[in-house]
């Protein structure tokens, strides 16, 4: 970049690794838990712990199924319940011995007395069968920020406030002022109000509006409220609790002007795509806004679209598009350091503009 220096992996560029892959053995690896964690350990959120003894127990104990591959024995993940038990056995939240070990590492890192938070549950272990029998409280863990000892409800950052553990930032404190050149350049070094871009700036309705004027709604796709993390809402339990689909939430004012009643089938569309679903008319939604909670799949309940000539409709990813926020490219500076699924150039697609139209005929 700019010929400022030579690319050196791990120093001036990303750390690169060469991985040899035997594609004929992918399934065998998929259904087993590899032994690399014996040496590398496990961890998250700035903490880690060794778990070689816990891994060896899984291989030797009759309580854990195993797989034999190329002369070696590995814990089996072939069945979902076996995979769940592997997670429970190796997590600080559900294995008290590993939790104490993680607190010992946290003490070395911070210089604070922290093991007492895990000492009371050092003997705690739980399995999937035990969780099926009754709910169980998991451990207070240094991998998270809430203190749950003594039956206390989880509350974020009590670990930092009460035990004086530094926040995971450049200074160890909470940051409201972000002293980074990219944040300074974009005017986001302090929390500042910025109006939402107008529909013309996004340009999501150029083709759609060629047929004439229409009522434009600002469509938001917030994080799902009633979802299971691994399957979102496309499973029997969640579909039964809802309307059998992920609806489009409309304000009472907009719905009345558009001739839409609660539970009507509607099409949410713009130049990019269309989503067909039911309308949920609510006084909680402000005028000019509609909401589709994130990540409905096309697995069930998606009818054919009238505005697309009878083609099968999509999900909310059909009418949204990716807008890369440049600030998230900042890196290598305190908390502005790349972490998979935590800090990096994500694709914000939560804000777009659409037309919502009542469907005359629903065809599956």
pLDDT tens digits for range 173-216: 998 999 899 999 999 999 988 888 899 998 999 999 998 888 99
Identify whether 267 is part of a domain: yes
Res 105: pLDDT? 96
How confident is residue 11, by pLDDT bands cut at 50, 70 and 90? confident
Q: Look at residues 163, 192, 214 and tell me which one is the last residue of a structural domain.
A: 163
Q: E strands within 226-273?
A: 248-251, 265-269
For the chain, percent of residues with pLDDT exceeding 70: 99
Sign of the alpha-carbon dihedral angle for 310, 312, 314, 318: negative
- Of 50-54, 152-156, 239-243, 313-317, the range with the lowest mean pLDDT is 239-243
Distance of CA 71 to the CA centre of its chain: 37
275-283-352-231 Cα dihedral, nearest 10 degrees: -50
DSSP 122-150: TT-B--HHHHHHS-------TTSS---GG
Identify whether 12 is part of a domain: no
Res 347: pLDDT? 67
Please give the model's pTM, rounded to 2 decimal places. 0.77
3-state secondary structure of 263: coil
Identify whether 18 is part of a domain: no
Whether 120 and 247 share a structural domain:
no
Res 213: pLDDT? 82
Whether 252 and 344 share a structural domain:
yes
164: number of Cβ within 10 Å: 12
Identify whether 297 is part of a domain: yes
pLDDT in tens, 71-123: 999 999 999 999 999 999 999 999 999 999 999 999 999 999 999 999 989 99
- In angstroms, the CA 268 to CA 275 distance is 5
- In angstroms, the CA 302 to CA 214 distance is 24
Identify whether 46 is part of a domain: yes
Whether 158 and 188 share a structural domain:
no
Whether 106 and 192 share a structural domain:
no
Identify whether 1 is part of a domain: no
Q: In this model, does residue 40 exceed pLDDT 90?
A: yes
How confident is residue 348, by pLDDT bands cut at 50, 70 and 90? low
Whether 70 and 209 share a structural domain:
no
Whether 199 and 147 share a structural domain:
no
- Count up the domains in the chain and report the number: 2
Question: 288: domain CATH number?
Answer: 2.40.40.20
Q: Look at residues 115, 133, 163 and tell me which one is the last residue of a structural domain.
A: 163
Per the structure, the complete domain to which residue 292 belongs is given by 184-358
Decide which of 18 and 232 is more confident: 18
Whether 131 and 273 share a structural domain:
no
The label of the residue with tokens 């972000």 reads 178
């Amino acid at each position: 970049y700019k010929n400022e220096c030579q690319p050196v992996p791990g120093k001036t560029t990303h750390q690169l690794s060469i991985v040899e892959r035997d594609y004929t053995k992918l399934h065998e690896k998929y259904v087993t838990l590899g032994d690399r964690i014996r040496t590398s350990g496990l961890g998250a959120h700035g903490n880690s712990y060794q778990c070689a003894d816990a891994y060896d127990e899984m291989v030797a104990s009759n309580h854990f199924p195993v797989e034999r591959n190329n002369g070696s024995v590995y814990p089996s993940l072939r069945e979902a319940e076996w995979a769940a038990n592997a997670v429970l056995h190796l997590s600080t939240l559900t294995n008290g011995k590993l939790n104490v070990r993680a607190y010992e590492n946290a003490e070395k890192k911070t210089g604070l007395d922290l093991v007492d938070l895990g000492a009371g549950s050092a003997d705690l272990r739980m399995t999937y069968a035990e969780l099926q029998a009754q709910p169980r409280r998991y451990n207070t863990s240094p991998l998270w920020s809430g203190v749950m000892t003594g039956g206390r409800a989880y509350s974020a950052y009590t670990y930092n406030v009460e035990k004086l553990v530094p926040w995971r930032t450049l200074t160890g404190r909470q940051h409201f002022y972000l002293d980074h050149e990219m944040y300074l350049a974009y005017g986001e070094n302090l929390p500042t109000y910025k109006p939402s871009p107008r529909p013309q700036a996004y340009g999501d309705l150029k083709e759609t509006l060629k047929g004439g004027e229409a009522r434009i709604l600002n469509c938001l796709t917030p994080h799902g409220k009633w979802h299971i993390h691994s399957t979102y809402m496309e499973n029997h339990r969640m579909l039964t609790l809802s309307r059998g689909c992920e609806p489009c939430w409309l304000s009472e004012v907009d719905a009345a002007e558009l001739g839409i009643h609660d539970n009507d089938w509607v099409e949410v569309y713009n130049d990019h795509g269309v989503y067909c679903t039911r309308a949920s008319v609510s006084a909680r939604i402000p005028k000019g806004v509609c909401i589709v909670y994130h990540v409905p799949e096309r697995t069930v309940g998606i009818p054919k679209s009238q505005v697309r000539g009878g083609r099968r409709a999509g999900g909310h990813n059909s009418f949204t598009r990716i807008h890369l926020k440049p600030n998230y490219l900042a890196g290598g500076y305190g908390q502005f350091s790349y972490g998979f699924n935590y800090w990096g150039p994500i694709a914000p697609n939560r804000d777009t503009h659409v037309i919502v139209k009542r469907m005359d005929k629903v065809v599956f």
